[in-house]
Amino acid sequence: MAGTDDPHRRRYRDGARLGAGGMAEVFRGTMVGAEGFERPVAIKRILPSLSQDAAFATLFVNEARLSARLHHPNVVQVLDFDRDQDGRLFLVMELVEGRSLDEIVRDSALPAPVVAYLAAELLRGLTHVHALADEHGRPLGLVHRDVSPHNVLVSWEGSVKLADFGLAKAMAVVSGTQSLAIKGKPLYMAPEQVTSPADVDQRADLFAVGAVLYELLTRRRVYQGSTTEEIGDVAARSLSSQEPPLGNLTCRRMGPR
């Protein structure tokens, strides 16, 4: 982002790429200020095709404005958003030095007390999000929509932070990309969210937390399937089933008694 004549966009300097997904790339970056001021940040750059989609861009900006109002120890802080010199939308966020929960559980099982700690911290962050109100005290009804191990960051000091508010909602409205919007994520979605992604409320986030914790405790996923379509079919069938999605799976104790 350096090299442009726009002084605002010169405030950020890209570093090493930290990762990439279906809608964005994430870079370690630096916020540059006056008198040699520098702050490490994370910069999420939206892919060019999405950045040029008017419907996505409008909702992305609206959601970024709301996300910037979230101030809580268990929520990744959004510091800024803009377009770079190539017209790509980007978010500037606090840099969490650590690993995602997805990376952690790939390496080893977590003992039950650690899972309980993660649950408490995650729910504290969601409580703040769900309770956010406007200047008149009216609830904004924010829903994360994409609570998953990939979006839970754990710092080296043990802080638990939820990331990526608003991106799932913005993705869901892009014409012709509905399947991309939920690709890989039905594993943690409430059945209603899989069948009607645009019509969900805050209960969907709580279901997702339960699905994540269930996987951490049992080493099994709530929904079984090898493709997005298979998982979606299982979730849809559970809407008419009298047996809850967790019904016939047994929790396995992990760690000492």
Burial of residue 37 (number of CB atoms within 10 Å: 0-12, 13-18, 19+): exposed
Q: Which two tokens stand for residue 237?
A: 């069938």
> How many residues does this entry show for the chain?
257
Two tokens, residue 250: 């047994």
Q: Beginning with the edge strand found earlier in the chain, give each strand of the sheet holding 160-162 in spatial order.
A: 98-100, 152-155, 160-162
Rounded Cα distance, 43 and 14, in Å: 8
Other Cβ atoms closer than 10 A to 109: 13
- d(C-alpha 187, C-alpha 163), whole Å: 18
d(CA 131, CA 138): 9
CA 257 to chain centre: 33
> Alpha-carbon distance 132 to 144, whole Å?
12
Helix (H, G, I), strand (E, B) or coil at 42: strand
Pick the catalytic residue from 53, 84, 146, 164.
146
Per the annotation, the verdict on 146 as an active-site residue is yes
Residues annotated as catalytic are: 146
